[in-house]
A and B are shown apart, each in its own frame.
Chain A
Amino acid sequence: MSIQKSWGELLKMAHACRIVIDTLDALEEAAVSGVSTRELDRIAREHIETAGARPAFLGYRGFPATLCISVNEEIVHGIPGSRRLAAGDIVGLDLGCVVDGFYGDAARTVAVGDVSDQARRLMRATREALFAGIEMCRPGKRVGDIGHAIQILAEGHGYSVVREFVGHGIGNSLHEEPQVPNYGPPGRRERLVPGMCLAIEPMVNVGGPEVEVLADGWTAVTRDRSLSAHFELSVAITPFGPWILSDPYPYPEQEGESAHA
């Protein structure tokens, strides 16, 4: 049911994902106190277009920008605008691009200046949850194992995971089958097979898991207005384990089509 990519297609995915990560690196540097979220969006677009790619979010279901910026209690899908970042904010930067028909998608939450211990712990736990999920990206595991690993880790820190938004397959479109929830029982849902590509993206709240979407139709905030963090990477399932597509291929002894089957 899910589309298995060939080695050549995985290399194209990796290229798109690399551009996204390079852009996020630049944005992280630029996300300082006083900068407007619209300015970050401009930097993101310029960076992606200079790299020969096209923004993936711009126009997607009517989303008006290149970058999703979600500050503090905003979970995801924040629209860039006139808001200026202030010291102590945590800022979710979510970005996607298309090159040669293949999509890359990644996100991270960064700190502006000095942030509270609470915020720092939340960001660390969310990132750990992402990697706990990625660790499950092996043939024979199932989509439910990913969500379970993420939920256990996040709730182990006393946080909650968002239910209304989920990770997704990625490839020739931004959102492909299967959906990848960040919670649920292990051993359920679709079986993972080599050549699948998934965007794993835990959204973790300090307070409750409930979500509210603001009047702009996009910005999702925590209903209790508690802090929320979001980390995302696009990952390919290989016969040997996960390949974080923005990283170099991690199993160099087995490369090419033979690495794929």
Chain B
Amino acid sequence: MPEAARETLEMEGTVREALPNALYRVELLDEQRTAITAHVAGGASLLRLRPGDVVLVQLFPYDAGRGRIVRRR
């Protein structure tokens, strides 16, 4: 019996802090204001984000503490 495909969960968040290795601390705009560590997707990683930037983050089902920044808003 096939399983319904899980859609990638995307959520907006605010960059709080730039970490080493092009990683960022992002605060999600969910109710708990969860903070996750996120990397930037694809070639966009060259683009530095600053604290306060609003970004769209993809979340991983396996690791709630990590995400992937898809784009800046």
Contact = CB atoms under 8 A, between A and B. Distances in A.
Interface of A: 1, 56-57, 60, 63, 68, 76-77, 94, 96, 105, 107, 163-168, 174-175, 177, 179, 181, 201, 203, 230, 232
Contacts of B3: 165-168, 175, 179
A1 B62 contact: yes
A203 B2 contact: yes
B4 interface: yes
Q: Which of A76, A165, A167 has the most CB of B within 10 A?
A: A165
24 contacts: A56-B1, A57-B1, A60-B1, A63-B1, A76-B1, A76-B2, A77-B1, A77-B2, A96-B1, A105-B1, A107-B1, A165-B2, A165-B3, A165-B5, A166-B3, A166-B4, A166-B5, A168-B2, A174-B1, A175-B1, A177-B62, A179-B5, A179-B6, A232-B2
Nearest to A203: B2
B62 to A, nearest CB: 6
Q: Which of B3, B4, B6 has the most CB of A within 10 A?
A: B3
**Chief secondary structure at chain A's binding surface:** strand
A61 B62 CA distance: 22
Instruction: Enumerate the 8 nearest inter-chain pairs by beta-carbon distance, A residue then B residue, closest first.
Output: A165-B2, A168-B3, A175-B3, A166-B5, A201-B2, A76-B2, A164-B5, A94-B1
Contacts of A179: 3, 5-6
Given A177-B62, A179-B5, 17 more contacts: A1-B62, A57-B1, A60-B1, A76-B1, A77-B1, A105-B1, A107-B1, A165-B2, A165-B4, A167-B2, A168-B2, A168-B3, A174-B1, A175-B3, A179-B3, A203-B2, A230-B2
Contacts of A175: 1, 3
Nearest to B2: A165
Interface string B9-40: 00000000000000000000000000000000
B1 A164 contact: no
B62 A166 contact: no
Contacts of A163: 5
Given A1-B62, A177-B62, A166 B2 contact: yes
Contacts of A165: 2-5
A96 B4 CA distance: 16
B62 A68 contact: no
